[in-house]
Structure 1
Amino acid sequence: MIDESDPAQPRVVATQAALDFLREIQGDHPDILFHQSGGCCDGSSPMCYPTSDYRVGETDVKLGEIGGVPVYISGSQFAVWKHTQLIIDVVPGRGGMFSLDNGRERRFLTRSRLLAGGEACPVPAVTVPVAQ
């Protein structure tokens, strides 16, 4: 496992809604972790597992922690997303098939923003011209 966590410039953060939902899940499963899915079965959802049910691979990258819960991503996926900060959020819907948020009618969702030079890059607003 490679550790890319940096408290000064976190690669992963969470919304308050995600942290609240995380605490709810920890009521049933106190020792958990996240692994950012690569897209096979559950799209690009952050998957939440009991730590005893998931083996972190030696090429997985630790992005950091949210609410004290470690967040990992595969090394190959990190190579593609290394210039982004992941933002874990929660939205209505069904969670990933094997993720602990499944069946709770809410699910975790990953949003992102670009990083450059150690700072977040603002994303410019897009104006769509209206046809006359």
Structure 2
Amino acid sequence: METTVNGEPRVLATDAALDLIGEIRRDHPDILFHQSGGCCDGSSPMCYPANEFMIGDSDVRLGEIGGVPVYISASQFEAWKHTQLIIDVVPGRGGMFSLDNGREKMPTSSSQSGTSSMPENQSPPSATAHSCLPPPAY
């Protein structure tokens, strides 16, 4: 599976997200993100110790942010394969089992179609915490 769409990375992170990743990695050096499919923790990207989360045969690796792999379920990937996932940070408590919990800030995700139109050093727009991802715009 390509980790790019139209030559652009499938997953990006804002500077705030990269800062949170660095903070988490100081406590847990080997981590991964899995884009949640909904339910209790909405559609937030969840952060887990890499050795404690079992990647399934139906999980798709989107790429890496800050040296950390990002996965999504195959069924979600099928719906979002033409979009770029953007990981950002908002104030709040993360998912119950996510390593960001208790830090009073949490990762959130939004998407944009295919390519990044952001100038260099400009953060992408953030999504609302615990909201479902909007349908892809084609």
Cα-to-partner distance string for 1:2-36 (whole Å, 9 max, x where unaligned): x4313942000000010011000000000000000
Question: How far does residue 120 in structure 1 lie from its aligned partner after superposition?
Answer: 4.6
Amino acid at match of 1:5: T
| Unmatched 5+ stretches in structure 2 | 119-138
Q: Unpaired segments of 5 or more residues in structure 1?
A: 123-132
The two structures have a TM-score, normalised by structure 1, of 0.83
Letter in structure 2 aligned against 1:27 = R
- 2:21 maps to which residue? 22
Corresponding residue of 2:74: 75
Deviation at 1:121, TM superposition (A): 7.4
Alignment of 1:1-132 (within 5 A): 3-6=1-4, 8-115=7-114, 119-120=115-116
Once superposed, which parts of structure 1, at least 4 consecutive aligned residues long, lie more than 6 Å away? none
Q: When the two structures are superposed, what TM-score results if normalisation uses the length of structure 2?
A: 0.80
CA distance in 2, matches of 1:121, 1:88: 16
Give the letter aligned to residue 6 of structure 1: T
Instruction: Please tell me whether Structure 1 or Structure 2 has the larger radius of gyration of its CA atoms.
Output: 1
Task: Please give the alpha-carbon distance, in whole angstroms, between the structure 2 residues aligned to 1:21 and 1:37.
Answer: 18
Seq. identity, %: 68
> CA RMSD of the aligned region, Å?
1.7
Q: C-alpha separation between the residues in 2 aligned to 1:71 and 1:55?
A: 13
Q: For 1:60 and 1:97, how far apart are their aligned partners in 2?
A: 21
SS of match in other structure, 2:8 = coil
Aligned length: 117
